[in-house]
Chain A
Protein backbone atom coordinates (compact mmCIF):
# COMPACT_ATOMS: atom_id res chain seq x y z
CA UNK A 1 0.00 0.00 0.00
CA UNK A 2 1.29 3.49 -0.92
CA UNK A 3 0.08 6.62 0.88
CA UNK A 4 -0.59 9.68 -1.26
CA UNK A 5 -0.71 13.13 0.31
CA UNK A 6 -2.74 15.59 -1.77
CA UNK A 7 -1.89 19.31 -2.10
CA UNK A 8 -4.81 20.15 0.22
CA UNK A 9 -3.32 17.96 2.99
CA UNK A 10 -5.74 15.04 2.61
CA UNK A 11 -4.52 11.44 2.17
CA UNK A 12 -5.42 8.45 0.03
CA UNK A 13 -4.06 4.96 -0.36
CA UNK A 14 -3.19 3.14 -3.55
CA UNK A 15 -2.31 -0.47 -4.21
CA UNK A 16 -0.32 0.33 -7.35
CA UNK A 17 3.43 0.73 -7.23
CA UNK A 18 4.42 2.66 -10.36
CA UNK A 19 3.96 6.45 -9.93
CA UNK A 20 2.15 6.77 -13.24
CA UNK A 21 -0.37 4.09 -12.18
CA UNK A 22 -0.71 5.53 -8.68
CA UNK A 23 -1.59 8.94 -10.14
CA UNK A 24 -4.18 7.40 -12.43
CA UNK A 25 -5.52 5.34 -9.51
CA UNK A 26 -6.10 8.45 -7.38
CA UNK A 27 -7.52 10.43 -10.31
CA UNK A 28 -4.64 12.84 -10.95
CA UNK A 29 -3.32 13.93 -14.34
CA UNK A 30 0.48 13.67 -14.39
CA UNK A 31 0.67 17.05 -16.15
CA UNK A 32 -1.14 18.76 -13.29
CA UNK A 33 1.03 17.61 -10.35
CA UNK A 34 4.61 17.05 -9.27
CA UNK A 35 5.49 14.02 -7.17
CA UNK A 36 7.84 14.29 -4.20
CA UNK A 37 9.30 11.41 -2.18
CA UNK A 38 11.48 12.23 0.85
CA UNK A 39 11.88 15.81 -0.36
CA UNK A 40 13.02 14.81 -3.88
CA UNK A 41 11.16 15.12 -7.19
CA UNK A 42 10.59 11.82 -8.98
CA UNK A 43 9.45 10.89 -12.50
CA UNK A 44 6.21 8.97 -13.21
CA UNK A 45 7.99 5.85 -14.51
CA UNK A 46 9.59 4.85 -11.20
CA UNK A 47 8.22 2.10 -8.95
CA UNK A 48 8.00 2.48 -5.19
CA UNK A 49 8.03 -0.02 -2.33
CA UNK A 50 5.06 -0.91 -0.19
CA UNK A 51 4.67 1.63 2.63
CA UNK A 52 6.14 4.59 0.69
CA UNK A 53 4.59 8.00 1.24
CA UNK A 54 4.34 10.27 -1.76
CA UNK A 55 3.41 13.93 -1.72
CA UNK A 56 1.71 15.72 -4.59
CA UNK A 57 2.34 19.38 -5.44
CA UNK A 58 -0.31 21.08 -7.55
CA UNK A 59 1.15 22.98 -10.49
CA UNK A 60 -2.04 24.57 -11.81
CA UNK A 61 -2.45 28.27 -11.10
CA UNK A 62 -5.89 29.74 -11.41
CA UNK A 63 -7.61 32.93 -12.43
Chain B
Protein backbone atom coordinates (compact mmCIF):
# COMPACT_ATOMS: atom_id res chain seq x y z
CA UNK B 1 0.00 0.00 0.00
CA UNK B 2 1.23 3.49 -0.92
CA UNK B 3 0.72 6.78 0.89
CA UNK B 4 -2.24 8.57 -0.72
CA UNK B 5 -0.35 11.84 -0.57
CA UNK B 6 3.14 11.04 -1.84
CA UNK B 7 3.34 7.45 -3.17
CA UNK B 8 5.93 6.41 -0.52
CA UNK B 9 5.34 3.03 1.15
CA UNK B 10 2.54 3.41 3.70
CA UNK B 11 3.32 2.66 7.36
CA UNK B 12 -0.31 2.63 8.41
CA UNK B 13 -3.61 1.93 6.73
CA UNK B 14 -6.86 3.63 7.68
CA UNK B 15 -9.50 1.20 6.51
CA UNK B 16 -12.41 3.59 7.16
CA UNK B 17 -10.81 5.96 4.61
CA UNK B 18 -9.53 3.11 2.46
CA UNK B 19 -6.16 4.89 2.50
CA UNK B 20 -2.60 4.56 3.72
CA UNK B 21 -0.10 7.14 4.92
CA UNK B 22 3.69 7.39 5.13
CA UNK B 23 5.17 8.57 8.43
CA UNK B 24 5.28 12.23 7.43
CA UNK B 25 1.73 12.39 6.10
CA UNK B 26 0.32 10.26 8.92
CA UNK B 27 1.82 12.68 11.46
CA UNK B 28 0.30 15.59 9.55
CA UNK B 29 -3.10 13.84 9.43
CA UNK B 30 -2.90 13.04 13.16
CA UNK B 31 -2.18 16.66 14.12
CA UNK B 32 -5.08 17.82 11.95
CA UNK B 33 -7.45 15.44 13.76
CA UNK B 34 -6.41 16.83 17.15
CA UNK B 35 -6.74 20.42 15.92
CA UNK B 36 -10.19 19.63 14.47
CA UNK B 37 -11.43 18.13 17.75
CA UNK B 38 -10.14 21.11 19.75
CA UNK B 39 -11.86 23.50 17.34
CA UNK B 40 -15.13 21.58 16.92
CA UNK B 41 -15.77 21.45 20.66
CA UNK B 42 -14.00 24.75 21.57
CA UNK B 43 -11.85 22.75 24.00
CA UNK B 44 -8.91 25.08 24.52
CA UNK B 45 -7.86 28.72 24.36
CA UNK B 46 -4.28 29.81 23.77
CA UNK B 47 -4.36 31.53 27.17
CA UNK B 48 -5.22 28.27 28.97
CA UNK B 49 -2.85 26.68 31.46
CA UNK B 50 -3.37 23.01 30.76
CA UNK B 51 -2.90 20.24 33.29
CA UNK B 52 -2.36 17.08 31.21
CA UNK B 53 -3.37 14.06 33.29
CA UNK B 54 -0.71 11.46 32.45
CA UNK B 55 -0.40 7.78 33.31
CA UNK B 56 2.82 6.90 31.47
CA UNK B 57 0.73 5.12 28.81
CA UNK B 58 0.67 5.97 25.11
CA UNK B 59 -2.47 8.11 25.01
CA UNK B 60 -1.62 10.64 27.68
CA UNK B 61 2.02 11.00 26.61
CA UNK B 62 1.01 11.45 22.96
CA UNK B 63 -1.50 14.09 24.04
CA UNK B 64 1.10 15.93 26.11
CA UNK B 65 3.59 15.76 23.22
CA UNK B 66 1.11 17.23 20.72
CA UNK B 67 -0.28 19.99 22.95
CA UNK B 68 3.30 21.02 23.63
CA UNK B 69 4.11 21.01 19.89
CA UNK B 70 1.03 23.14 19.27
CA UNK B 71 2.43 25.76 21.64
CA UNK B 72 0.02 25.36 24.56
CA UNK B 73 1.21 25.97 28.11
CA UNK B 74 1.18 22.51 29.71
CA UNK B 75 2.35 20.59 32.75
CA UNK B 76 1.90 16.87 33.31
CA UNK B 77 0.12 15.61 36.40
CA UNK B 78 0.76 12.04 37.48
CA UNK B 79 -0.60 10.09 40.43
CA UNK B 80 1.59 7.13 41.39
CA UNK B 81 -0.94 4.61 42.65
CA UNK B 82 1.33 2.37 44.70
CA UNK B 83 0.55 -0.65 42.51
CA UNK B 84 3.96 -2.38 42.65
CA UNK B 85 6.18 -2.56 39.60
CA UNK B 86 3.50 -1.10 37.32
CA UNK B 87 3.53 2.19 39.26
CA UNK B 88 7.33 2.34 39.41
CA UNK B 89 7.70 1.76 35.67
CA UNK B 90 4.97 4.20 34.65
CA UNK B 91 6.33 6.94 36.92
CA UNK B 92 9.78 6.49 35.35
CA UNK B 93 8.25 6.91 31.86
CA UNK B 94 6.51 10.15 32.86
CA UNK B 95 9.67 11.58 34.41
CA UNK B 96 11.80 10.57 31.41
CA UNK B 97 9.31 12.13 28.97
CA UNK B 98 9.20 15.39 30.94
CA UNK B 99 12.97 15.57 31.17
CA UNK B 100 13.53 14.81 27.49
CA UNK B 101 11.10 17.56 26.45
CA UNK B 102 12.00 20.11 29.13
CA UNK B 103 8.48 19.98 30.60
CA UNK B 104 7.20 20.06 34.18
CA UNK B 105 5.73 16.92 35.72
CA UNK B 106 3.80 17.22 38.97
CA UNK B 107 3.98 13.88 40.77
CA UNK B 108 1.73 12.77 43.62
CA UNK B 109 2.92 9.51 45.17
CA UNK B 110 0.24 7.63 47.11
CA UNK B 111 2.92 5.59 48.90
CA UNK B 112 4.28 8.86 50.30
CA UNK B 113 0.73 9.99 51.11
CA UNK B 114 0.28 6.78 53.10
CA UNK B 115 -2.68 5.62 50.99
CA UNK B 116 -1.65 3.32 48.11
CA UNK B 117 -4.65 1.99 46.18
CA UNK B 118 -4.26 -1.70 47.16
CA UNK B 119 -4.27 -0.75 50.86
CA UNK B 120 -7.26 1.61 50.50
CA UNK B 121 -9.20 -1.04 48.56
CA UNK B 122 -8.44 -3.74 51.13
CA UNK B 123 -9.35 -1.60 54.14
CA UNK B 124 -12.58 -0.28 52.63
CA UNK B 125 -13.46 -3.64 51.01
CA UNK B 126 -14.11 -1.75 47.78
CA UNK B 127 -13.10 -2.48 44.22
CA UNK B 128 -9.61 -1.03 43.47
CA UNK B 129 -10.82 0.86 40.37
CA UNK B 130 -13.65 2.63 42.17
CA UNK B 131 -11.31 3.77 44.98
CA UNK B 132 -8.69 4.70 42.39
CA UNK B 133 -11.15 6.87 40.45
CA UNK B 134 -12.14 8.74 43.58
CA UNK B 135 -8.53 9.30 44.73
CA UNK B 136 -7.33 10.41 41.29
CA UNK B 137 -10.23 12.86 41.00
CA UNK B 138 -9.35 14.32 44.38
CA UNK B 139 -5.70 14.94 43.45
CA UNK B 140 -6.46 16.16 39.93
CA UNK B 141 -8.85 18.74 41.40
CA UNK B 142 -6.45 19.71 44.16
CA UNK B 143 -3.41 20.10 41.90
CA UNK B 144 -5.45 22.02 39.30
CA UNK B 145 -6.63 24.45 41.97
CA UNK B 146 -3.29 24.84 43.76
CA UNK B 147 -1.38 25.12 40.48
CA UNK B 148 -3.69 27.73 38.92
CA UNK B 149 -4.58 25.52 35.92
CA UNK B 150 -7.62 26.51 33.86
CA UNK B 151 -8.31 23.15 32.22
CA UNK B 152 -7.56 19.43 32.67
CA UNK B 153 -6.83 17.39 29.52
CA UNK B 154 -6.96 13.60 29.37
CA UNK B 155 -5.77 11.20 26.66
CA UNK B 156 -9.04 9.31 26.11
CA UNK B 157 -9.17 8.11 22.51
CA UNK B 158 -12.02 7.08 20.21
CA UNK B 159 -11.93 3.44 21.39
CA UNK B 160 -12.08 4.45 25.06
CA UNK B 161 -15.04 6.71 24.46
CA UNK B 162 -16.89 4.41 22.07
CA UNK B 163 -16.48 1.57 24.61
CA UNK B 164 -17.75 3.82 27.41
CA UNK B 165 -20.72 4.89 25.30
CA UNK B 166 -21.43 1.25 24.43
CA UNK B 167 -21.39 0.27 28.11
CA UNK B 168 -23.61 3.19 29.10
CA UNK B 169 -26.13 2.32 26.37
CA UNK B 170 -26.17 -1.36 27.34
CA UNK B 171 -27.07 -0.32 30.89
CA UNK B 172 -29.15 2.71 29.80
CA UNK B 173 -27.11 4.60 32.34
CA UNK B 174 -28.63 8.04 31.76
CA UNK B 175 -26.49 9.71 34.43
CA UNK B 176 -23.29 8.75 32.62
CA UNK B 177 -24.74 9.22 29.13
CA UNK B 178 -25.15 12.86 30.17
CA UNK B 179 -21.40 13.05 30.73
CA UNK B 180 -20.24 11.70 27.36
CA UNK B 181 -19.23 15.07 25.91
CA UNK B 182 -15.48 15.50 25.27
CA UNK B 183 -15.74 18.88 27.03
CA UNK B 184 -17.22 19.12 30.50
CA UNK B 185 -17.67 22.57 32.02
CA UNK B 186 -16.02 23.79 35.20
CA UNK B 187 -17.98 23.64 38.41
CA UNK B 188 -17.30 25.66 41.51
CA UNK B 189 -13.75 26.65 42.25
CA UNK B 190 -12.28 23.17 42.25
CA UNK B 191 -13.58 21.36 39.21
CA UNK B 192 -11.90 22.70 36.08
CA UNK B 193 -13.05 22.32 32.51
CA UNK B 194 -12.20 18.80 31.29
CA UNK B 195 -11.26 18.09 27.68
CA UNK B 196 -10.40 15.03 25.58
CA UNK B 197 -8.56 16.20 22.44
CA UNK B 198 -7.80 12.66 21.10
CA UNK B 199 -11.43 11.58 20.68
CA UNK B 200 -11.29 11.51 16.88
CA UNK B 201 -8.40 9.02 16.91
CA UNK B 202 -8.68 5.23 17.35
CA UNK B 203 -6.12 3.81 19.75
CA UNK B 204 -4.33 1.95 16.98
CA UNK B 205 -3.51 5.31 15.41
CA UNK B 206 -2.41 6.75 18.77
CA UNK B 207 -0.08 3.76 19.26
CA UNK B 208 1.27 4.19 15.70
CA UNK B 209 1.91 7.89 16.33
CA UNK B 210 3.80 7.06 19.56
CA UNK B 211 5.87 4.40 17.75
CA UNK B 212 6.70 6.59 14.76
CA UNK B 213 7.55 9.65 16.85
CA UNK B 214 9.71 7.86 19.41
CA UNK B 215 7.42 8.47 22.39
CA UNK B 216 8.52 5.96 25.01
CA UNK B 217 5.52 4.76 27.02
CA UNK B 218 4.69 1.86 29.31
CA UNK B 219 3.03 -0.82 27.16
CA UNK B 220 1.85 -2.82 30.19
CA UNK B 221 -1.60 -2.18 31.50
CA UNK B 222 -2.47 -1.59 35.12
CA UNK B 223 -2.82 -5.13 36.58
CA UNK B 224 -6.16 -4.11 38.10
CA UNK B 225 -7.65 -3.60 34.63
CA UNK B 226 -7.67 -7.35 33.92
CA UNK B 227 -11.17 -8.52 33.14
CA UNK B 228 -12.54 -4.96 32.92
CA UNK B 229 -15.79 -4.84 30.94
CA UNK B 230 -14.44 -1.94 28.86
CA UNK B 231 -11.88 -4.37 27.35
CA UNK B 232 -14.68 -6.68 26.27
CA UNK B 233 -16.58 -3.75 24.73
CA UNK B 234 -13.45 -2.70 22.83
CA UNK B 235 -13.05 -6.23 21.50
CA UNK B 236 -16.65 -6.31 20.30
CA UNK B 237 -16.33 -2.88 18.66
CA UNK B 238 -13.10 -3.96 16.93
CA UNK B 239 -14.90 -7.04 15.57
CA UNK B 240 -17.60 -4.77 14.15
CA UNK B 241 -14.96 -2.36 12.83
CA UNK B 242 -13.22 -5.21 10.99
CA UNK B 243 -16.41 -6.14 9.13
CA UNK B 244 -17.73 -2.56 8.73
CA UNK B 245 -14.91 0.00 8.77
CA UNK B 246 -16.01 3.31 10.27
CA UNK B 247 -18.41 1.77 12.82
CA UNK B 248 -16.64 3.24 15.86
CA UNK B 249 -16.52 6.78 14.42
CA UNK B 250 -20.15 6.59 13.40
CA UNK B 251 -21.39 5.14 16.70
CA UNK B 252 -19.57 7.76 18.78
CA UNK B 253 -19.96 10.77 16.47
CA UNK B 254 -23.65 10.20 15.72
CA UNK B 255 -24.48 10.00 19.41
CA UNK B 256 -23.88 13.75 19.67
CA UNK B 257 -25.91 14.54 16.56
CA UNK B 258 -28.79 12.13 17.14
CA UNK B 259 -29.20 11.43 20.83
CA UNK B 260 -27.04 13.42 23.26
CA UNK B 261 -29.65 16.18 23.73
CA UNK B 262 -31.96 13.62 25.37
CA UNK B 263 -29.42 13.27 28.17
CA UNK B 264 -28.67 16.85 29.26
CA UNK B 265 -25.67 17.56 31.45
CA UNK B 266 -26.80 18.80 34.84
CA UNK B 267 -24.30 20.91 36.74
CA UNK B 268 -24.40 21.32 40.48
CA UNK B 269 -24.48 25.10 39.96
CA UNK B 270 -27.49 25.64 42.21
CA UNK B 271 -25.71 23.78 44.95
CA UNK B 272 -22.54 25.81 44.62
CA UNK B 273 -23.47 28.11 47.49
CA UNK B 274 -23.76 25.04 49.70
CA UNK B 275 -20.11 24.16 48.99
CA UNK B 276 -17.59 24.61 51.77
CA UNK B 277 -13.93 23.82 52.29
CA UNK B 278 -12.87 20.49 53.79
CA UNK B 279 -11.56 21.21 57.30
CA UNK B 280 -8.73 18.73 56.76
CA UNK B 281 -7.41 19.41 53.24
CA UNK B 282 -9.23 22.51 51.93
CA UNK B 283 -10.90 20.72 48.98
CA UNK B 284 -14.45 21.80 48.04
CA UNK B 285 -17.08 19.61 49.66
CA UNK B 286 -20.72 19.59 50.76
CA UNK B 287 -19.76 18.17 54.15
CA UNK B 288 -17.20 19.36 56.71
CA UNK B 289 -14.76 16.64 55.66
CA UNK B 290 -14.36 15.72 51.96
CA UNK B 291 -14.89 12.19 50.68
CA UNK B 292 -11.15 11.63 50.17
CA UNK B 293 -10.29 12.60 53.76
CA UNK B 294 -13.11 10.36 55.00
CA UNK B 295 -11.65 7.53 52.93
CA UNK B 296 -8.22 8.11 54.47
CA UNK B 297 -9.71 8.11 57.96
CA UNK B 298 -10.78 4.50 57.34
CA UNK B 299 -7.08 3.55 57.12
CA UNK B 300 -6.59 4.66 60.70
CA UNK B 301 -9.90 3.31 61.94
A7 vs chain B, min Cβ distance (A): 7
Inter-subunit contact B10/A43 (CB<8 Å): yes
Inter-subunit contact B11/A60 (CB<8 Å): no
Residue pairs across A and B with Cβ atoms less than 8 A apart, 11 shown, are A29-B239, A31-B202, A31-B242, A36-B211, A41-B12, A46-B1, A57-B207, A60-B159, A61-B57, A62-B222, A62-B228
Inter-subunit contact B235/A29 (CB<8 Å): yes
Contact of A60 among B13, B129, B231 (CB under 8 A): B231
List the interface of chain A (C-beta within 8 A of B).
7, 29-34, 36, 40-46, 57-63
* A-B residue pairs, 4 tightest by C-beta: A62-B225, A63-B225, A59-B207, A62-B221
Q: Is the interface of B mostly helix, strand, loop or mixed?
A: helix
Inter-subunit contact B225/A32 (CB<8 Å): no
List the interface of chain B (C-beta within 8 A of A).
1, 10-13, 20, 57-59, 129, 159-160, 202-204, 206-208, 211-212, 219, 221-222, 224-226, 228, 230-231, 234-235, 238-239, 241-242
Q: Measured between alpha carbons, how far is A36 from B225 in the docked complex, in Å?
A: 26
With both beta carbons as reference points, the residue of chain B lying nearest to A58 in the complex is identified as: B219
Given contacts A57-B207, A61-B57, A61-B160, 11 further A-B contacts (CB under 8 A): A29-B235, A29-B238, A41-B12, A41-B212, A43-B13, A57-B211, A57-B219, A59-B208, A61-B59, A62-B230, A63-B221
Question: How many A-B residue contacts, CB cutoff 8 Å?
Answer: 73
Chain B residues with CB under 8 Å of A46's CB are: 1
A48 vs chain B, min Cβ distance (A): 14
Contact of A45 among B1, B225, B241 (CB under 8 A): B1
Inter-subunit contact A29/B242 (CB<8 Å): yes
Chain B residues with CB under 8 Å of A59's CB are: 58, 203-204, 206-208
Chain A residues with CB under 8 Å of B225's CB are: 62-63
Contact of A63 among B208, B219, B222 (CB under 8 A): B222
Inter-subunit contact B13/A31 (CB<8 Å): no
Inter-subunit contact B238/A32 (CB<8 Å): yes
Q: Measured between alpha carbons, how far is A58 from B217 in the docked complex, in Å?
A: 12
Q: Measured between alpha carbons, how far is A40 from B59 in the docked complex, in Å?
A: 20
